[in-house]
Amino acid sequence: MSLLDTIKALSESYSQQTIDVRRHLHANPELSYQEHQTALYVAGQLRESGIEPTEGIAETGVMAEIKGRNPERKTIALRADMDALPIEEANDVEYKSRNPGVMHACGHDVHTSSLLSTAKILNQVKDHFEGTVRFLFQPGEEKNPGGASYMIRDGALENPRPSAIMGQHVFPLLQVGKIGFREGMYMASADEIYLKVIGKGGHGAAPDLCIDPIVIASHIIIALQQVISRNANPRQPTVLTFGNIVGLGATNIIPNEVNIAGTFRAMNEEWRESALVKIEKMAKGIAEGMGGKCEVIISRGYPYLENNPELTRRIRAAAEQYVGKENVVDLDISLGAEDFSYYSQIVPASFYRLGTRNEAKGISSYVHTPTFNIDEDALRIGPGLMAWMAIKELESEIS
């Protein structure tokens, strides 16, 4: 049997186990940076398969390595994230979340179970490849500053530095069986913007005695859209959304302050820097011009994510061998953000998508919703596909 067929057969034979692991994780979700039980479980799974894990990296992260023949030749890294979201699950399934208000609504249970099976597969064929595969199970993808940044801080990309890293993410817009790739710019940077507009409250019938922060805030929100429509390069994707505004007055009460919160996204670091300066300047200037004040807090999120074109071409070719050319598709850019981007700033990286949609089974909800779910047939493909792409990448001449 060819190595490709062996890996396909292993992925298939592990598929029930992969699904069981996924369901266990799904039923026991933990929030970002609190993945204690998940980390223990992942480490236990690795140990049971004869793979010695390194625990405690990035607090609740787990790392492991599988060495093939000639392990020094090359090292590549594979990454999964383990955290869940503060969402109450609305799915009526036997493996429904047992932690109230916490749910694996972004598929990180899928990424973790898939990568565990990838490790089991590669461990079984380690006499058939040269080099080392490093496995990163990271915490906190969903929350600033991003578990990836802690993994890097704790040496996940050192001794030796991997020549490439790849990460897989579920994709509810892509039919199960399909795999999506994109070369170059793929996802956006994301920064949180908090504006506190301070005026002077009072009776709604006496605005002349007040400084109305509601009116000031309204002007600021409208004016800031101009940063996108008038200042941004129209050929560059960028977004500014304010999804939260709180001004606790009443029909006849002008409040003292209004709080606004939003997200700013971009795919160009220079523009990101200048836009954040403009946002702050404009918000403050408008408030001052109207007699009030505006405090601006910007919480820096993840940088943009760029998929290394050469690496992406190579792993895409491997995926075409694995699932057939007709099942590999091009992804469009996304203004979503991913902390995988931190790895991409250090080593050639590629982030690809695993199709998980199946409308015939009623599975179409987007990630971060209470009804998000996947077609678990994706877990027949995911582990073997990643194992095959890893082996092909180790075989490639580029180091």
Q: Which residue is nearest to Zn ion (CB)?
A: 106
| Alpha carbon distance 108, 363 (integer Å) | 17
Total binding residues toward Zn ion, as defined by CB under 5 A: 1
The residue among 74 and 79 lying less far from Zn ion, judged by its C-beta, is 79
Please name the residues in contact with 97: beta carbons below 8 A apart, sequence gap of 6 or more. Answer: 26, 27, 28, 29, 84, 89, 103, 104
CB 125 within 8 Å of CB 15:
no
Q: Which residue has the tokens 């170059």?
A: 184
141 is a catalytic site residue: yes
338 is catalytic: no
Query: Which CB sits closer to Zn ion, 32 or 312?
Result: 32
Contacts of 326 (CB under 8 A, 6+ apart): none
- Tell which positions 87-116 bind Zn ion, by CB under 5 A: 106
Q: Is 280 exposed, middle or buried (0-12, 13-18, 19+ CB in 10 A)?
A: middle
Residue 327 beta carbon to Zn ion: minimum distance, rounded to whole angstroms: 22
- The Cα 73–Cα 69 span in angstroms is 9
* Cα radius of gyration (the chain): 24
> Would you count residue 164 as binding Zn ion (CB under 5 A)?
no
The answer to whether 163 and 313 have CB atoms below 8 angstroms apart is no
Nearest distance, CB of residue 313 and Zn ion, angstroms: 24
Residue of 109, 141, 191, 257 with catalytic role: 141
Which residues have C-beta within 8 Å of that of residue 324, sequence separation ≥ 6? Answer: none
Q: Which is nearer to Zn ion, 172 or 201 (CB)?
A: 172
Residue among 31 and 106 whose Cβ is closer to Zn ion: 106
CB of 368 to Zn ion, least distance (A): 6
Q: Which is nearer to Zn ion, 106 or 227 (CB)?
A: 106
Instruction: Identify whether 160 is preceded by a cis peptide bond (ω within 30 of 0).
Output: yes
Residue found under tokens 């973790």? 112
DSSP character string of 43-55: HHHHHHTT---EE
**Nearer Cβ to Zn ion (21/106):** 106
Tell me whether residue 106 or residue 390 sits nearer to Zn ion (CB atom): 106
Q: Which of residues 318-337 bind Zn ion (CB under 5 A)?
A: none
By the 8 A CB rule, do 103 and 84 touch?
yes
| Active-site residue, from 30, 35, 81, 83 | 83
- Integer angstrom CA distances of residue 149 from 61, 63, 146, 337, 344: 12, 15, 6, 14, 11
Q: How many CB atoms lie within 10 A of CB 5?
A: 9
Segment 54 to 83, residues that bind Zn ion, using CB under 5 A? none
Q: What is the DSSP letter of 229?
A: I
Question: What residues make contact with Zn ion under the rule CB under 5 A?
Answer: 106
Catalytic residues: 83, 141
